[in-house]
Amino acid sequence: MFPSRSSRLLALATGVAIVTSGIAAGDDPATVTFRSFPIDAGATLRQIAFPPAGVPVPTTAEAFVVTTLINFSPVSPVLAGLKPVKGKVRVDGTCFGTPNVTTSGQLKLDRGFGIDTQVLDQTNGCNFFQTQPMGRGGSRNPWDSNGQVIVSVQPFDPSSGCQPSETALCLGPNSRFQVEVDWEDFEKTRSAMALPTAPDSGTFWFFNPENVSMVVRVLDKTNVSGFNNFWVFAAGLTDVEATLTVTDTQTSLIKVYTSVDGHFPSVGDTDAF
């Protein structure tokens, strides 16, 4: 169902450092880049040399979403019985254009990972965005490991009612559809973490950024004879109970897809909106 996404999914699952472009109409693809870095056991956030990470920017988009993800280990410290790294990381960015524009954000590390999401106006002809994380206060890393900095850039329509965040994707034409996933964690409901990978698709994970739990895609088929609507596809890579919610921010219509614990969620709705 997703042959054009196979290399990207492999990269998300294994941490392979690549730059890949999403497929979109016109000149507005989404881009994702991965940078790995070593972390010594006992290192504090201030002692870690985070690498810079940069991605091309869709120059014809009115605005774009920058998602910066920092992950400290391919294995969840919680599942391994260790205390995950907690603390804050400052994320400084430079949007190279005329003139260059600098940004600053902050992400909070919780279960060994953290996300910062920013919406930036395309006012300076920015064609490349580079982020530089810097550790601040926090706990020590429990073991020798390799971390990751992942940066994603996705075109965004500021007139859309969708609000991109660490748990919400804005997919489809004009960032129209807000997509969110909740999952059950030992009778406690949690929000899945989101990473946009193309204007029409993205991924969610539950336990760890390197273990993708669900892939979601919203397709515009309004110009296809016999359909004239939007399709929702989703593939679950976990048997954990999950609920996928897709909201059409133009009409306020909502579609909810729920999987049963022990079954892999799968959606192929060609009559969604």
- Helix H or strand E encompassing 218: strand 212-221
Structure tokens at 33: 């880049």
pLDDT digits (tens, 9 = 90+) for 175-196: 999 999 998 877 788 899 999 9
Strand partners, 102: 94
pTM for this model (two decimals): 0.80
CA dihedral for 205, 210, 214, 217, sign (positive or negative): positive
pLDDT digits (tens, 9 = 90+) for 54-110: 999 988 888 999 999 999 876 666 666 777 888 999 999 999 999 999 999 999 988
DSSP 8-state secondary structure symbol assigned to residue 211: S
Length of the chain: 273
Of 219 and 5, more confident? 219
Query: What is the Cα–Cα distance from 53 to 42, expressed in whole angstroms?
Result: 24
pLDDT digits (tens, 9 = 90+) for 130-149: 999 999 877 888 888 889 99
Could you tell me which of 271, 244, 234 has the C-alpha nearest to residue 2?
Answer: 234
Query: What is the Cα–Cα distance from 22 to 34, expressed in whole angstroms?
Result: 15
**Confidence band for 150, pLDDT divided at 50, 70 and 90:** very high
Neighbours of 17 (CB within 10 A): 12
